[in-house]
Homo-oligomer: A and B are copies of this chain.
Amino acid sequence: MRSADLIELWRGGRRESIHRGHAVICDRSGVLEAWGAPSRVIFPRSSCKMIQALPLIESGAADAAGLTDRQLALACASHDGARMHVEAVGDWLDGIGMAEPDLRCGCHMPRDREENRRLTCSDGAPSQLHNNCSGKHAGFLTLNRHLRGGPEYIEPDHPVQQAVKAAFEEVTDEVSPGFGIDGCSAPNWACTLEGLGRAMAAFADPGQDRRGQAMRRLVDAMRAHPEMVAGEGAASTVLMRATQGQAAAKEGAEAVFVAILPERGIGVALKVVDGASRASEAAITALLVHLGVLDADDPAVDRHLPKSIRNWRGMDTGDMRTSTGFPA
The verdict on A166 contacting chain B, using a C-beta distance below 8 Å, is: no
**Quick one: closest B residue to A190, CB to CB?**
B14
What separation, in Å, do the CA atoms of A117 and B119 have in the docked complex? 11
Within 98-124 of A, Cβ neighbours of B (below 8 Å) are at 104-108, 117, 120-121
Neighbouring B residues of A275 by C-beta, 8 Å: 9, 16-17, 276
The verdict on A150 contacting chain B, using a C-beta distance below 8 Å, is: no
What separation, in Å, do the CA atoms of A47 and B59 have in the docked complex? 56
How many copies, total?
A: 2
Q: What is the 8 Å Cβ interface bit string for chain A, positions 73-109, against chain B (1 contact, 0 not)?
A: 0000000000000000000000000000000111110
Neighbouring B residues of A181 by C-beta, 8 Å: 11-12, 311, 315-318
The verdict on A184 contacting chain B, using a C-beta distance below 8 Å, is: yes
Q: What is the 8 Å Cβ interface bit string for chain A, positions 249-265, against chain B (1 contact, 0 not)?
A: 00000110000000000
Neighbouring B residues of A41 by C-beta, 8 Å: 14
Main secondary structure of the interface of A (DSSP, over half): loop
The verdict on A66 contacting chain B, using a C-beta distance below 8 Å, is: no
**Out of B178, B190, B274, B279, which one reaches A18, CB within 8 Å?**
B274
Neighbouring B residues of A184 by C-beta, 8 Å: 311-312
Distance to closest chain B CB from A53 (angstroms) = 21
The verdict on A183 contacting chain B, using a C-beta distance below 8 Å, is: yes
The verdict on A63 contacting chain B, using a C-beta distance below 8 Å, is: no
Q: Which residues of A contact B (CB under 8 A)?
A: 9, 11-14, 16-20, 41-43, 104-108, 117, 120-121, 131, 177-185, 188, 190, 254-255, 273-276, 279, 311-313, 315-318
Q: List 18 contacting pairs A-B, 8 Å CB cutoff, sorted by A.
A: A11-B43, A11-B180, A12-B190, A14-B43, A14-B180, A16-B43, A17-B275, A19-B274, A105-B312, A107-B312, A117-B120, A121-B121, A131-B312, A180-B317, A183-B312, A274-B274, A274-B279, A275-B276
